Every structure is written in C-alpha cells, then in structure tokens.
Chain A
Amino acid sequence: MNKINSIEDEAGDKYKYGFVTDIASETAPKGLNEDIIRLISAKKGEPEWLLDFRLKAFEFWQTLSEPTWAKLKYDKIDYQDLSYYSAPKQKVAPKSLSEVDPELLATYEKLGIPLKEQEALAGVVAVDAVFDSVSVATTYRAKLAEKGIIFCSISEAVREHPDLVKKYLGSVVPYTDNFFAALNSAVFTDGSFVYIPKGVRCPMELSTYFRINAKNTGQFERTLIVADDESYVSYLEGCTAPQRDENQLHAAIVEIVVLKDAEVKYSTVQNWYPGDKDGKGGVYNFVTKRAACRGANAKISWTQVETGSAVTWKYPSCVLQGDNSVGEFYSVAITNNHQQADTGTKMIHIGKNTTSKIISKGISAGFSNQTYRGLVRVSPGADNARNYSQCDSLLIGATCGSHTVPYIENRNKSAKLEHEATTSKISDEQLFYCQSRGIGEEEAVSLIVNGFCKEVMQHLPMEFAIEAAKLINISLEGSVG
C-alpha cells in the first residue's frame, strides 16, 4: 500500500497547467442583473436586437431553477457572487501577434499553444485564442478569407456579419433550452464564429483554446458554426485553466448548423483544473452543445476527451433533421480523485434513413463518480433510422462509481436500435500478462486504458490525439494500487 500512497502524493502536483498570469483585468462588479447585461452589451458595442435577446434570456432564466437530475453533488452556486465580465486591459486592439501582451503570449507558450510556432507547424492549425472572455489574437485569417471562410470571435461576427449571426444564433440552442443555456444567452461574452461557404472544404483544422484566468470570473463562451451546403470543416477545442482553490463556473454553448451535404467534425480535449486530490477547487463545467443537421446527407461528428473539471455536465447532441443525415459521438471521459462527470449525448432522429453511432468510454478512479446519460429518440417519420450505442466503463479502485443511464425512445417500427453497456475493472489477467513481460504496473494500466479508449482516440485529429493520449496517462497517475 505504501507504493500507492507515494504515487498519489506525486499525483497531487500533476496539474501541469496550474499557473496564474498576472495581467490587469477589467472586471465588472459582482452580481447579475439587467444593468450588468446592459453593461456587457454596451462594452461590446452590440446592436439592439442582441441586447433584446440577452434580456429575454435573462428574464426567462430568472423563472428557472438549477437542474438537479444529474448525478452530481456540488456546493450551491451563488450566481450573484460571480463577476460576469472580465477583459484583459489593452488600450488598442492588437493588429498582429507582435502587439499582443508578451506575458499573455508566454502563458500560451507554457500551454504549448503553437501561436508563435504556428508557421513551423506548417499552417495546420489556425488558433483563435481566448483569454478569459475576449479574443486577443486571431491568426490565419487572411488565408481563410481567401476561401470565403469566416473564422472570428463572435463579437466581431456580430459587428461584421450581423445577418448570419442573427439568422443562426439561438436557432439550435434557444435561450429557453435549459437553465445554463439561458444563463449563457444572457451573459455570454465571447466565443468563436465559423462560417464555411457553399462547396468549400476548410483547408486546415480550426482551433480555439479557451482559458479561464481572472479570479472569480465565470466564463460564458458562445460558439456558432455554420457549414453551408457541401462544405466541410474540422474544429478543435481545447481547454486548460490555472490552478485555483475557488470553484470556477463555466457555462458554454456550442451551436452547429450543418446544411445539405455538409460535414462538421468537432473535437474537444478538456483538461481544466479538476481540483486537488481532496476535491478542493476545480472548474464547474456546464455545457450545452448541439448540432442540427438541417439538410439531406449532412454529417456531424463529436469527439471528446474529458479529463478535467471538478464537475462536468455536458451532452453534445445531434438533431438529425435532414434525410440520410449522420450523427456520431465518440467520448472518453476520465475522472480521478473527487471529480464528477455526468455526460453523454442525444441523438434525435427526425429525417428518413438517419443513422447515429455512440461510442462512450468512461474510466473512473479514486473517489470519482461518472455517469453516462444518453438519449436516442426516433420520431414517427424517421423511417429506417439506425442507431448503435456502446458504453463501456472501467473502474479503477473500490471507492469510485460508474453509472449508465441511457434513454431509448422508439416510435418507428422500421428503426433498428441497439444499445450495449458493460462495466468492469481492469482484469487481473491482463495486468499479470503485462507485468510478467516486464512492464511496470502503472505502465501496464496505461497500456490497457489506452487500448480501451482506442476506438475513440482514433477519431481525434493528429495534433489532438497525441495531447490526449498524454492527458489520459497524467489523469490516471496515482490511481493504481
């Protein structure tokens, strides 16, 4: 048992990205009311319709109460004790990288974001770096603009492409959707906007790095992706956050509109600060992600690797409206120490011949609890709909929990739905096999876990796959006894 302890002690300092950047932030006073919303809107110079949208959302939010159905336990969040706006102080908006605060750039460098070395990375990734709430640098804009692709912060999009934003904002996730979506709609400060025009295949992976920094600032990101007919885009989202003792709230919305024959691939690696080994601190992550396949043959694919956050509440969904549209969800969720995750997906089959696939792999260790919660719904008109779901859970240690709660609702007889779920621990035989060949216990576990997750990992883009594999190992260190 001594060995376990020593490894666990070590695991305590494992959060590589736990540092605070010292930048003067301009922060709104604590609390949430109409004035704060007007302030946010005014600071961002928003048009009237968006302010209306925010106010309506706020009004609706006040009628709601926080959902309690998820298998999550956390201290009640005092929404009046948070600050809803924080922007790094800069006199003039930077025009190029050289104008960006060097300290900020240093932070990104520590995180390994190839903002400076992007040329070296052969232009594979265009990064829209988000520091707290305001986009500070957007790269590769010119190259994307050539193809007519719009990739900018949502505030910029509101200014420069109001018609597009007005048409699609809130069309997939209306502000009435849920408690956190209403909150986000009222106070969202920034996020990314992507528009891929008809017939364009985006030449590079679009990427955004979120980062929560200023103390006591909830982050309310809003991402809107629109893929017009016959277009393709792959979008990467990755997150890290500095180590803190106070819980940080994050309630983001990601909306994706996929039109006829278009395809969107959305990948996430989430490794926000999960709290220390006693469950102190960590990010609260309540995210509403949804994609609507509006046209025929549209395709959406969600891939996520969730290793961070103290509390995760996240159900990337696919609304398959167009005939023959395809929805996919690949997920690896790892919880250790006192982390809690309630995550899964929703596949809503509306169009004919729609297919969906769910592969979810959950690994719980330490004192963590994890729930897969998913919905597959086949509407009466969704002839020949097809769904295959597989949810596997791996338990490491006797004090963790793993739960599976799928909902399957079929209202069409020609639909074929299959759901399978298993839960087990790493078998002693597998461990013994590895160890008898001279592989250490930790390494053996990591080998087995990586094999367990392979089905999902192979759907990640190259840059992410490497980072994600490393993350899995870091997340599980100290969990083996």
Chain B
Amino acid sequence: MSSLLQKIPLIGKEIPWLNDVRQKGAEAFAKTGVPTAKTEAWKYTKPRELCGDDFVIKQSKKDSDWKADLPFEAYQIRFENGYFCPQESTLPQGVEVVPLIEAMLFHPEVWKHLCKMADINKYPFAALNQSYLNEGVYIRIEKNVELKKPLVIISHTTPGEENLFFNLHNLIVLEENAAATLVEYHTWSGEVKSRYFANLVNEIYLSAGAHLEHIKVQAEAFKANHVALSVVAANKDSEYKSFCLQRGANIGRNETLVKLQESGACAEVNAAYIMNGWATLDTTTDIEHLSAQTTSHQLVKGVIGGDAKGVFQGKIHIAPNAVKTEGNQLHKALLLSNTAEVDVKPELEIFADDVKCSHGAASGELDEDQLFYMRSRGIGLEEARQILIDAYLEDVIGKIKHEGIRNWVEKEAK
C-alpha cells in the first residue's frame, strides 16, 4: 500500500455524507493502487517513481512572504503549500470565489458537479484526490457576466524538510453565456531540500454559451511531482480554450478530459513542454465528442533536452451518432540531445461516419542548415538555438488570446 493513502483528520470528518465521498475516493484508489507501467494510460510515465518516497501530509498552514509578480492585472487566489490563503482583492459583481470546504458545507449546489465529472475508477490520482477532498476553490460566474480581468489561481510551494504531499480540487462553474479567463500558476521558491507532490483536479462546467480561456503554467521545483487532471463538460455552443505550459517538475503530468456533450460545443486544447535534466513531462488529452456538430483542435509542441522524456497521449473519441464533428490534433517534438526521448500515442476512436478527424505527429532535431545560416551571420550557437526554439514554440503560445498573459507565458517559456 502506498504511503500516499494516510489517515489524517480532515475538516468535516464528523459529517457522514462528506466522509462518504472521501471514503469512496479512498476505496477507488485502494482498488487500482498506483498505476504501473502496464496501465495503458500510464504506459510511458513511470508512476512508481512518483510515489517512491515517503510523503507527509501537512496539517498546518505556513504563510510565506513570497509575492507573485505577474505582469498583467488579475484577481488572485492563492494556495500556499496546498492551503488556501485569503487574499485582499475585491471581486466584481457576479463572481463568487469560495474555499472548497466552505462551498461543500454551505453551497449545496456544488454537489451537482463536484466529484461527478470524472469516473474515479479510471483516474487513480483523482480518486486519491477525492479521498482528501478539502482544499481548493469553488468559482462561479453568473449568467451573462463577462469577466474583464483574468482570475489567477496561484499554487506556491516552499519545499521544507519533509516530502510534502498535497491535494487541490477546484470546481469552476460558468453559467449561461458567462465568459472568463482563468490562469493557473504552479510555482515554488526557496531551497529544494525535499521533494513534494502536488495532486490536482479541476472540474470545469461550462453552461450553454459560456466561454472559458484556461491557461496553465506548471513551473514546479525540479524535484517535484505534479499530477493534474482537468475535466471539462462543455454544453451547447460553449467554448473551452486551453493552453498549458509545462517547464518544471521531475515528473509532470497534465491530463485534460473534455466532454463536448451538446451540439455547437468546441474545444481548443493546446500545450507546450520544455524540459531538461531527468524530467518526464506528460501531456495527456482525451476529447470526447458526445454530440453532433462539435469541434476540437489540439496543438502540442515539445522541446526535450538532457536525459528528459516527453510524453504525449492524445485521444479523440467520437461517439455513435456524433455526426458533423471535426477533431484534429498535431503533436511535434524537438529533440535537443542524444539521450532525450519522446513517446507519442495519438489515438482516434471513431464510431460515426460523417466526421472529419485527423492527427499528426512528428519528431526531429533542430535544422542544421538554419543553425548554420545564423552562425554564418555572427550569431552564437546557443543564441541561434534559442532563436529557433522560440520560433518553434511561437505558433502554439501565440494562440493565447489575452495579450498580457501571452507575453508572460513567452517569458516563462524561455
């Protein structure tokens, strides 16, 4: 049994129905356990390594004087070592941000979606997360409200003496025709004295006509583990547009499951990963076209150096009768060293005929001719390589609509 499943007193443990929910998560995780290399969904990312160390679940908050320095205006939500830290920003009308534990106890409407969107029997780490259901945030954007400034969820960790393990669970609900930009920023400061393991679940519910742009930057400490699952339910004519940059962590996995469940729903799931050292960065997507006239686009680009390993698993599923759908996907990887590795599994699963689906995957190295061209013009090798890498990533990062965020991500990607 993994040390990840520990008995710790959580808030609300005396409430039977809340205990039940957590218990279900614990049971589901105990049944599957930590996935092995034989688990198809974890084939290329070594989950055993994720859980190799003893992790400790901290029960006390620790404030830090670290300040996020974001070059764009935003409403901030902060988590420090996995605990919610109240912030002093005032939210506009029509937006509600409530700590998860408070929402679970006093906003019964959250139970319409909370822990309902992903099948925990299929996602062991989501099951584990559910067994610790406590920390996180509930965000609700009211009908027809369009949020001008982005909402930023910052998860900041200060690695301490012990290997820290924390779980965050966010529920984001956009009501009819609401629109918002959500940024997730996972970062750290201090000294890397220990490993830590962040296990995250986002449940995102988009009502008819809602629009969400979801940008994530994973810049965890190089010894950290980061496992995240975002589940999105997109209803009629809603739009989910996401971009995830992974550039930190020892093992990082960002998994996105989008359910396009009503006609007109569309999703754009883009990602980039940049890595060195011994890291394994995994981008996994599963786009389910469950209704007719739904569309999805994916573009994922990776830059892999050192002894690192990049993993991309992308699936497009078209349900029977989900006709007039369009799904496409492209993954490209750039290998910078001879010990780098990339493992790709793009998958199409199609049960309807009137569809247009495609996927493409390519991998290669930097073009020698282009490098030579620049070097012959007096640009140093390192600089020339950087220019080529920046240009290579430009088209995927360029898909971020919000200009301030785009510039910030470009800097983060360097």
Contacts and interface: CB of A to CB of B under 8 A. Distances in A.
Contacts of B335: 410, 412-413, 415
Contact of A423 (B344, B345, B350): B350
A399 to B, nearest CB: 7
B350 A408 contact: no
B363 interface: yes
Interface stretch (A27-35, A219-227, A390-398): A390-398
A143 interface: no
A402 interface: yes
A340 to B, nearest CB: 13
A398 to B, nearest CB: 5
B255 to A, nearest CB: 18
B341 A393 contact: no
A403 interface: yes
B388 to A, nearest CB: 14
Contact of B355 (A396, A404, A423): A423
Contact of B320 (A399, A406, A413, A417): A399
Interface string B298-338: 00000000000000000000001101000000000101111
B340 interface: yes
Contacts of A418: 360-362
A393 B348 CA distance: 10
Nearest to B351: A401
Nearest to B358: A422
B323 A421 contact: no
A419 interface: yes
Contact of B365 (A396, A405, A414, A423): A414
Given A420-B360, A425-B355, A402 B350 contact: yes
Interface centre among B341, B348, B352, B356 (most CB of A within 10 A): B348
A401 B345 contact: no
B38 to A, nearest CB: 10
A421 B364 contact: no
Contacts of A398: 320-321, 323, 352-354
B331 to A, nearest CB: 9
A424 B348 contact: no
A372 to B, nearest CB: 9
B168 to A, nearest CB: 32
Nearest to A386: B364
B348 A425 contact: no
Nearest to A428: B354
A397 B350 CA distance: 12
A407 interface: yes
Given A380-B339, A403-B350, A424 B364 contact: no
Contacts of A380: 338-339
A49 interface: no
B357 A422 contact: yes
A423 B364 contact: no
Q: Interface size bucket, B side?
A: 35 or more
Given A380-B338, A419-B360, A408 B343 contact: yes
A410 B333 contact: yes
Contact of B341 (A403, A410, A414): A410
Interface residues of A, number: 34
Nearest to A426: B353
Contacts of B40: 69
A419 B359 CA distance: 8
Contacts, number: 116
Contacts of B360: 418-421
Contacts of B352: 395, 398
Interface centre among A409, A415, A420 (most CB of B within 10 A): A409
A424 B356 contact: yes
B347 A405 contact: yes
A403 B354 contact: no
Contacts of A409: 44, 341-344
B355 to A, nearest CB: 6
A417 B338 contact: no
Contacts of B355: 395, 423-425
B25 interface: no
B119 interface: no
Contacts of B82: none
Contact of B353 (A397, A408, A415, A416): A397
A400 interface: yes
Contacts of A396: 353
Contacts of B361: 406, 408, 417-419
A110 B142 CA distance: 74
Nearest to B338: A413
Contact of A408 (B321, B323, B345, B356): B345
A411 interface: yes
Contacts of B342: 408-410
B191 to A, nearest CB: 33
A412 B338 CA distance: 6
Nearest to A388: B362
Contacts of A69: 40
Interface string B238-264: 000000000000000000000000000
23 contacts: A395-B352, A396-B353, A398-B352, A398-B353, A398-B354, A400-B351, A401-B351, A404-B347, A405-B345, A406-B346, A406-B347, A408-B361, A410-B342, A410-B344, A411-B340, A412-B338, A413-B335, A415-B335, A417-B361, A422-B356, A422-B358, A424-B355, A424-B356
Given A401-B350, A407-B343, A408-B345, 15 more contacts: A69-B40, A393-B348, A400-B353, A401-B351, A404-B348, A404-B359, A405-B347, A406-B361, A409-B344, A410-B342, A413-B336, A413-B338, A416-B363, A419-B362, A423-B348
Interface of B: 40, 44, 320-321, 323, 333, 335-365
Chain A to chain B: the 6 pairs with minimum beta-carbon distance, closest first: A413-B335, A395-B353, A408-B344, A404-B348, A419-B361, A423-B357
